[in-house]
Amino acid sequence: MRVEVRDIQKHFGLVKANDGISLTFEGGKIYGLLGENGAGKSTLMKILSGYQPPDSGEILLDGRTAEFSSPATALSDGVGMLYQDPLDMPPFRVIDNYLLGHDSKVRLSYKSAAAELKEIMARYDFAVDVNAYIDTLTMGERQQLELVRLLAGGARLLILDEPTTGISAEQQERLFESMRRLAYKEGKTLILVSHKLDEIQELCDYAFILRRGKLVGETEVPCPNETLVEMMFGQVPAQSERPPFELGQPQLEIKNITVGDYRLSASNINLSVQAGEVFGFAGLEGSGQRRVIQACAGLIHPSDGRIKLAGEDVTGWSYHKMQQAGMAYLAAGRLEGGLVAGLSLTEHLALTQPEQSFLVDWDGVRHEMDQRIKHYQIVGRPDSTADELSGGNQQRLLFALLNSPLKLLLLEHPTRGLDVRSTNYTWDLLYQRREEGTAIIFMSADLDEIIERSDRIAVFSAGKMSRIVAARDTSVDELGHLIGGQS
């Protein structure tokens, strides 16, 4: 299918997310859509897939104007989008979920649906048990399921938004294989939205680069990485440097804790993190690392063992008490856990002030927020609401709201979904925190990041923590083995 978007405009408040973008996608090819955070990639693809309407501009499918009122109508015209978070129903079985999105008859036909599912899965070499419950599946399997749903729904244009986040290397290989098959054997049009250059180089035939809501370049790929980076950023961003740092006293000591519930429990965790140390947790999602982080935050309590913060026994302390003791925790979902949609930046700052008087000094807080906006380079204004900011700016806001000094900073996926520039900036901020003796623990799905940024690393596999390795002595290969449970 030949797909054209013409002069798409979309504004959110004062922000021009899409500022007159025109693109053409031919059938039988894989396109890459590149851009840093907030460049307008997601907005454009959501418009193309019927999730939101443009302010102006039009979409042409094989030369005919199309107008979508919802993702469902877009799919019936052959446009399907695979979102970063799969749109499935976790408590359902695979087959129920499939029927839910598919069968509009009164009586459900499990038999024919199962046959259909299996037939499509076999074609793309996917292997998911149709009777399994979705919440037992991995992210990669859920993604395969979504793809199957879209294909069964008649998608001829497939949009994949950052599909390799949170899936294993093997699943990624399989995904790419099926994408190639869809494009080259079946003549479908594929669009890969990503900011990972390697992926684009490996998979795509052609790339469009967006910057600040505009199309700034297009090129055949593979091509030199520098070409792409230059178009994305205007200039090549400098890699942030990791300043050497003298570690201090142990800030956090974990002695033999067991934490979790019947589904997943991390047991016999022993760990000591020093002031100024950056400690990385690696492992597949759901291997116990988040439980340990949340236990350190006081959000869940260990059933066994002790936790000490700066020498003081804090086992069983509540989250708020831990906060007052100098702990900060930044959850993975920024708008779900940390920021409040609909509240302005100023209001956020007011809420996090350690000393709270009866009345809010709105002028003072707004002024302070203005300062922090400049200091943390947030694209936004004191009266913008948190949900109006892009992902990278939401992360900056969270950092801007942190109090000083901190003894312990816990982070889940601090740079997930951020582009190179924002990632570097985030780490610069974190390294600054070391100066005041903050111990930092972070979890990430990106092994390169963990090796590059940590002092020491622990790997989690099915609730067990590996031996602790020094970042400078390890390799992706070694970590990969540890993730697989080999020591």
Partner 1 sequence: MSRFQSMTGQRLLQWIWPIVPVLGALLFTTGLLLIFDTSPLVAFEAMFQGALGDSAKRLSMLAFWIPLLLASLGLLVTFRAGLWNIGIEGQIILGAVGASWIALKVTAPSPILIALELLVAMAAGALWAGLAGILKTRGRVHEIFGGLALNNIAIIFTNYLISGPWQPPEGGTFRGTEPFQDAALLPLFGESRFAPLSLILAIIAFAIIVITLRGTFWGLKLKALGKNSYSAYLLGISSEREIILAMMFCGALAGLGGAVRVLSWFDSLRQGIAGGIGFMALLVVMLANYNMFLVPFIALFFAAVLSGSITLQLRTQLHSSLGGILTGVMVLFVLLFGDAGKLGIGRKKSDHHGAPEVEGRAIDPFSRDIPEGE
Binding site residues, partner 1, CB under 8 A:
52-58, 67, 69, 319-320, 323, 329, 331, 335-343, 347-348, 350-352, 356-360, 362, 387, 401
Strand partners, 8: 21
Say how far apart CA 354 and CA 468 lie, in whole Å. 35
Closest CA to 57 of 17, 90, 30, 86: 17
Closest CA to 283 of 129, 191, 412, 406: 412
Non-local CB neighbours of 166 within 8 Å, separated by 6+ positions: 139, 140, 285, 445
Q: What is the 3-state secondary structure (H, E, C) of 12-72?
A: ECCEEEEEEEEEEECCCCEEEEECCCCCCHHHHHHHHCCCCCCCEEEEEECCEEECCCCHH
Rounded to a whole number of angstroms, the minimum distance from the CB of residue 403 to partner 1 is: 10
Rounded to a whole number of angstroms, the minimum distance from the CB of residue 68 to partner 1 is: 11
Q: Reduced to 3 states, what is the DSSP secondary structure of residue 257?
A: strand
Rounded to a whole number of angstroms, the minimum distance from the CB of residue 463 to partner 1 is: 25
Strand partners, 282: 459
Rounded to a whole number of angstroms, the minimum distance from the CB of residue 330 to partner 1 is: 9
Nearer to partner 1, 339 or 420 (CB): 339
**Structure-token match 């399994």, residue found:** 132
Rounded to a whole number of angstroms, the minimum distance from the CB of residue 297 to partner 1 is: 9
Nearer to partner 1, 56 or 249 (CB): 56
Nearer to partner 1, 389 or 465 (CB): 389
Nearer to partner 1, 197 or 410 (CB): 410
Calculate the CA 155 to chain-centre distance: 25
Calculate the CA 433 to chain-centre distance: 23
Nearer to partner 1, 67 or 428 (CB): 67
Q: What is the 3-state secondary structure (H, E, C) of 401-444?
A: HCCCCCCEEEEECCCCCCCHHHHHHHHHHHHHHHCCCCEEEEEC
Rounded to a whole number of angstroms, the minimum distance from the CB of residue 483 to partner 1 is: 28
Rounded to a whole number of angstroms, the minimum distance from the CB of residue 18 to partner 1 is: 13
> What CA dihedral angle connects 78, 79, 82 and 88, to 10 degrees?
-60
Say how far apart CA 380 and CA 222 lie, in whole Å. 36
Rounded to a whole number of angstroms, the minimum distance from the CB of residue 1 to partner 1 is: 21
Nearer to partner 1, 58 or 478 (CB): 58
Rounded to a whole number of angstroms, the minimum distance from the CB of residue 436 to partner 1 is: 20
Neighbours of 129 (CB within 10 A): 12
H/E element, 192: strand 189-194
Rounded to a whole number of angstroms, the minimum distance from the CB of residue 16 to partner 1 is: 16
Nearer to partner 1, 81 or 284 (CB): 81
Say how far apart CA 231 and CA 177 lie, in whole Å. 28
Nearer to partner 1, 39 or 447 (CB): 39
Rounded to a whole number of angstroms, the minimum distance from the CB of residue 46 to partner 1 is: 8
> For residue 102, what are its two tokens?
């598919």
Calculate the CA 425 to chain-centre distance: 17
Alpha helices per DSSP H over 215-302: 225-233, 289-297
Say how far apart CA 185 and CA 205 lie, in whole Å. 15
